[in-house]
Structure 1
Amino acid sequence: MSTTDILGTLGSIFTILSFGCGVFVSVAMTTKKLRESIIKEMKGRTFGAATLEQMAKTWVMIFERYFGDRLLSIKQIITIPIYTLTVSCVYIAVWILHNIHGDINANFKPFSPLMKQSLHDYFHEAIFVALAVDIFSISLTRIAIRAGKVKGYLSFRFLFLFFLTISASFFAFTFGLFFLRVLDMVRMYTELVPQDPIPVMPYKPFEGFNVLLNLFNAPTVIHVTSKGWIATYFIPEPILFYTAVTSQLSFIFIIVAHLLAKFSLSVRQASIKMLQTAGTTAGIATGIFTSMLVWMLTIIFFCAIAAFHGS
């Protein structure tokens, strides 16, 4: 960073801190009756915290009504397959639109052999892996939600179950993907190079993970055979990955909603404390001291940066 950038950053920090000190001094200059009225008003409002928590509770209610609130719910026999198929079709549609470069008219033309084979493999093989992962992850999500209702959605138990579910679902997905790759390898060797011994494919759950983060990538597996190198591409793997990840969005929404609600209430409490302190002699003294400290530290930083870059 140049001297100008650093001084600009320090200037921005100084401006923000000075504004805070100015607000504190301005509040201190108001009457006690006005401050008490403001405190009463702030205590009676949640500033969106109640709405966020209600949204999270509504989402939990929808989740349990759709998938069932029991671990072995009969309802999920129907609802989970519908969910998996719907999410898969959404990602498949996005993937197809990307491959045809957004040309809607291309949907009425025959797909390329690669796309045909990919769609065939996904809906004949990979869809069952996605279904198994969804059943596994949704069951764990149900357990975590039950713990959140009892202990709170920001409790240690809920957060522990959250990370456990994410980790377990990821390994379930990678194991399912590994099974599909082994199946494809055995099929390829049997049909194309039956005279070659089938190699042992190691299970590496974290290998090529960055490829899965791109929905539009076409990851391949290269096999070295007696007939040369043979590359296989049997399913759009990122689609399978994102289908598995989507079932975890309930956790993200619940945790983010409660974190924002907690932050809103913390800001409200801090504001009330400031109002309660602002009218007292201790509050005024603290405000004046903080203002002078900000000014002096800023001047020292400016001089130090200027001397360092000028030498």
Structure 2
Amino acid sequence: MNLRQIEVFRATMLTGSTADAARLLHVSQPGISRMIGHIEVQLGVRLFERGKGRLRPTPEAHALYAEVEQVYRGVQRIDERAKAIKAGSGVPLRVLASPSTLLEIVPAAVASLTADYPDSLIYLESQLVRDMVRLLSNGEADVGISNLPIDHPPLVSEVLGSWSLSCVFQRGHRFEREASLPISEIVKEKLIAFSPDTPQGRLVAEHYPHTLGQGTRRIEVRSGQVACALAAAGAGVAVVDNLTARGWHHDQLSFRPIRRSPKSLVYRVRNPDFPSSALEQALIDRIRLAFRGMAQRG
């Protein structure tokens, strides 16, 4: 018996007549009668006794119906599972992200995603590139959001957006009077500098190799959030990525973009050996849209 035959037989058992079964399934009564007759011929047994407009199930029909109900419940479970997957609750999503993207861009995208998929289950972790590579390569995470390019087979990357550099400083600083800042003015201040092996440190060293060397380096850090905390406390000014400058909120901190700042890219990183889920793609679409909006706002 195929699924359509099972559906017709079950409806006939539930209603007790081909007319009622036809109404239940929204089809014609002759079609139901022909299907029941075909099932009986196919099985080689009589399933119903006909009389006075009603059908009386035979013992064989009752035995078959018990099995049919088990199949029907299985189909219902499949349908429920399919609906759960569509709603985002069928498959958990494991996301790794560079720290600077977790201050605003990624959290906002996750919040939007969970609003649209309230039953979804999302694991979100801050990871450095080396750990991101290991976890994605082993299939222990689904997707990475990295502010550094990753060239490590079998992982593949695609661009989601970009970040640039800003200067952060304590509120009330003379820099607040400016809409943007030239690097030549920033180096006149006490500098909170990034270690050269950080993404921010590499970008600064690459584009300002001589100019920043003129500044007074009092403190060296590895984290944009630490640089912002120090700047807010009045320890100096810092050149940080604009993701951190925008996302690190403190009532004593201000920031301004750096004129003609270089840009660096943010990537989606994934393992092509493990296909993406619809939930993952929905998150990526939101992150890409957030970067586009940030670029339009300048």
Rg comparison, structure with higher value: 2
Greater RCO, 1 or 2 (C-alpha within 8 Å, sep 6+): 1
Q: Say which structure is richer in helix.
A: 1
Same fold (TM over 0.5): no
Bucket of the pairwise TM-score, normalised by the shorter protein: under 0.3
Q: Say which structure is richer in strand.
A: 2
